[in-house]
Amino acid sequence: MQDSPDNVVQPDWLDDIKWTDDGLIPAIAQDADNGDILMMAWMNRESLALTVQEGQAVYWSRSRGKLWRKGESSGHQQVLRDIRLDCDADVILLKVEQKGGIACHTGRRSCFYRTLKDGQWVSAEPVLKDPNAIYGSN
């Protein structure tokens, strides 16, 4: 294990990952029970180490420039069941238990709710809960 710049001890297995130039890796969250793809987000070294340490998904928010614990505002945490690294070592797969059944900020089970029909993206999945009821109105 080695110290990071902010004196957080980071495991050596993080060195096996091919990080982007920005120090990130795409992470796909998959339902551990039925295999549904729930979402994709970005992780950095710290968020991936915290995910393993805490047993729940912690991502890196590029738009906010900070760590983002999945479910911190919605209550829809992702409990880690398994973690995989692809053959090129540049994509993480998190097999998770999705708390509350909603992974998407739109109130749907999955972020992959649009399907291409006749040259247009159309919604193929219902909104399970109004996002304003989850996050409050902005």
Question: Residue 88's domain is classified under what CATH number?
Answer: 3.10.20.810
Confirm whether 133 is domain-assigned. no
| 21 is a domain residue | yes
Residue 95 in any domain: the answer is yes
Q: Residue 62: inside a domain, yes or no?
A: yes
Q: What confidence score (pLDDT) does residue 2 get?
A: 47
> How much is the pLDDT for 73?
87
118 labeled part of a ligand binding site:
no
User: Is position 80 within any domain?
Assistant: yes
Is residue 82 annotated as involved in ligand binding? no
| Residue 67 belongs to some domain of the structure | yes
Q: What is the pTM of this model?
A: 0.87
Is residue 81 within 8 Å of residue 32, measured between CB atoms?
yes
Residue 73 lies in a domain: yes
Query: What pLDDT is recorded for position 6?
Result: 53
Q: Is 86 annotated as a binding residue?
A: yes
Q: What residues of the chain score a pLDDT lower than 70? A: 1-9, 137-138
> Is 36 one of the annotated binding-site residues?
no
Query: What pLDDT sits at residue 9?
Result: 60
Structurally, how many domains does the chain consist of?
A: 1
The chain-wide mean pLDDT, for the chain, equals: 92
In a domain, 132, yes or no: no
Residue 15, marked binder: no
Q: Which domain holds residue 8?
A: 2-127
Quote the pLDDT of residue 135. 83
